[in-house]
Structure 1
């Protein structure tokens, strides 16, 4: 059976904690990484009803979208709601893990799951994350020293491209120089022009590794004064990671019909589906953000979407956007939007943890508890 440590490592790979917002608290909250995990429950909120559901299931792990603790605590006695959840889970041997803002933006994350639940096509980030900043290091090295310089650069973190490392490009050429008085040349003589067969080595390097990579290259280079360039590369957009999503419907429909489609596709809540716009307006391009997404209102308008769907829209931002006349707005329950991620996560976990063939399997369930805080409306 996989251990809790195995599963948390997998979740951190899919939803890297370094992509969480600074204020967020993600990762393993409760549990021993050495313990085996046979049953997992997935939910949006770590509330008492969900904890009871996990205990009834005899779950070894509860994975939630929202964290249990966002602020520092001095204890978690069972006398308050958060402490009660922690006490019940730990008393029954159930670990707790949270993937929050780090699960919003990646492929297979919350916003993409919402887009797929609505049947959108050609889905991509509404506001793509930039790729990590990169430099290109170019250095000119005598042929017989090229390999040691390549190795030094790679050891310092240069040359990593996706799932490959030690990546570089080389081209032959001639280096020309004349050592002056006071020089101690590795090749040639003071005052005499020299021509040397050299190799041009190019490799990429994460910008935060620039200093150590250049220092390693200089230390490995046989010349007193190596010739090299450091070029800052233009940032590119990540094709599959970013805030929100944009896509298109398979066929245009009126805003009224789109709202009905949303109501059918998402779990029912007392909140329902609120709409701002002309009911007869045709919509095809849809922007959305799982959870509270009013920070993307201007981005949705500039992207030219026909309708923008999110949760927790406030009066003034919504009113100001509607002054522009477009896009239409659809506001859905926060829990209903984010719960679309749970079946996606379940399928990923089942596929990753259960090899085909006979043997023990890990059971993964989506919580049946509706944790939307609103219970009715008049």
Structure 2
């Protein structure tokens, strides 16, 4: 375990925050297991290695290189286990990393859909341009809250709304819109007005404040409003906003290449990906014209019905099964290009490395493992 690391290195928690910012764990599928698997968040990180699979051999490579963090795509513990003894494959892997002082982090389905994620990396490696999600992710449901506040109290209320999670739009926070106006009311017997007298009409200079908020934060934001508002009975309303359908994230990618034959495009795919025993399998007329292409990093036959309805000439993915692929071809769908699962997802690793270098500079060493962890080792 290294003990002489420079003092200016980032902590593991800092690197984890970077990775989670690019690939938010909350966007992972409900069945997935992502995030920091092992490691002390307060330890410094001087070297980061990236790989597709957390195999024993990958763990040994990370340990021998002196990595402080191993970032992988596939989870080590996707299904529950009752122990991590060194007599099991998972236990051996974790044991090697732990003994070497190397933390482990997984970014799986949260990295599949993201900008700069696995499918986008695959599409870029194949030279596709004009990328859009094959199946756009649903945008986060949002509300718009409107309230009316005495001018003197408006800034305090705006701040309370922002602290509760309202007004966050992309890379901005505390966003709101205000319009001056007049508030009119007459307090009735039993009221305890902050402004005005019971039984007398009152006119108050007020500000109309409007903020957008994630629907999941609605209760917290309304409670913050009621706590910060000076009125006994403040006026407010919440409107649910519509999805504009402009999602940049989502499953798979669709893009374009210069017009070419399917045979030529298949050669292009083979040249762009790391070599494997699996190679590149193609279903379709070799002379078919290819211009528009859909891709999905990893196993993608769950998208075949979606792809059939798209205006694409070829679909590049992995792990296509015999019957679904055969039925797809019978229905006259796009050509199918089946590549090794590991090779397709490996294209994401250099992308993450570049992002880490851009964020951390030369203070942290990085390494992309080229160890092929595709399970198929040769063709007879």
| TM-score of the two chains, using structure 2 as the length reference | 0.91
- Equivalent residue in structure 2 for 1:46, among 54, 68, 71: 54
Structure 1: gaps spanning 5 or more residues: 356-360
Which residue of 1 is the match for residue 256 of structure 2? 248
1:50-70: CA deviations, max 9, x gaps?
A: 122223323222221111111
Residues 14, 238 of structure 1: CA spacing in aligned structure 2 closer, same or farther, 3 A cutoff? Answer: farther
Paired residue secondary structure (2:249): strand
CA distance in 2, matches of 1:91, 1:53: 13
1:297-343: CA deviations, max 9, x gaps?
A: 22223331111111111223323332331222111110010011111
Size of the aligned set, in residue pairs, is 372
CA distance in 2, matches of 1:225, 1:96: 52
CA distance in 2, matches of 1:36, 1:217: 41
Which residue of 2 is the match for residue 10 of structure 1? 18
Which residue of 2 is the match for residue 369 of structure 1? 371
1:109-167: CA deviations, max 9, x gaps?
A: 11111011001111121122222211111112233332332233223222222233222
* C-alpha deviation, 1:296, in angstroms: 2.0
1:84-111: CA deviations, max 9, x gaps?
A: 1112222233222221111111111111
**Counterpart mapping for 1:111-122 below 5 A:** 111-122=119-130
Which residue of 2 is the match for residue 344 of structure 1? 351
| TM-score of the two chains, using structure 1 as the length reference | 0.91
Residue 139 of structure 2 contacts residue 247 of structure 2 at CA under 8 Å; is this kept in 1?
Answer: no
CA distance in 2, matches of 1:153, 1:352: 31
CA distance in 2, matches of 1:191, 1:323: 79
* C-alpha deviation, 1:179, in angstroms: 4.3
Q: 1:59 and 2:61 equivalent?
A: no
Paired residue secondary structure (2:248): strand
Structure 2: gaps spanning 5 or more residues: 1-8
Residues 372, 200 of structure 1: CA spacing in aligned structure 2 closer, same or farther, 3 A cutoff? Answer: same
Residue 130 of structure 1 contacts residue 238 of structure 1 at CA under 8 Å; is this kept in 2?
Answer: no
Paired residue secondary structure (2:227): helix
The CA RMSD over aligned residues, in Å, is: 2.1
CA distance in 2, matches of 1:341, 1:37: 21
Residue 5 of structure 1 contacts residue 33 of structure 1 at CA under 8 Å; is this kept in 2?
Answer: yes
Q: 1:94 and 2:80 equivalent?
A: no
Which residue of 1 is the match for residue 4 of structure 2? none
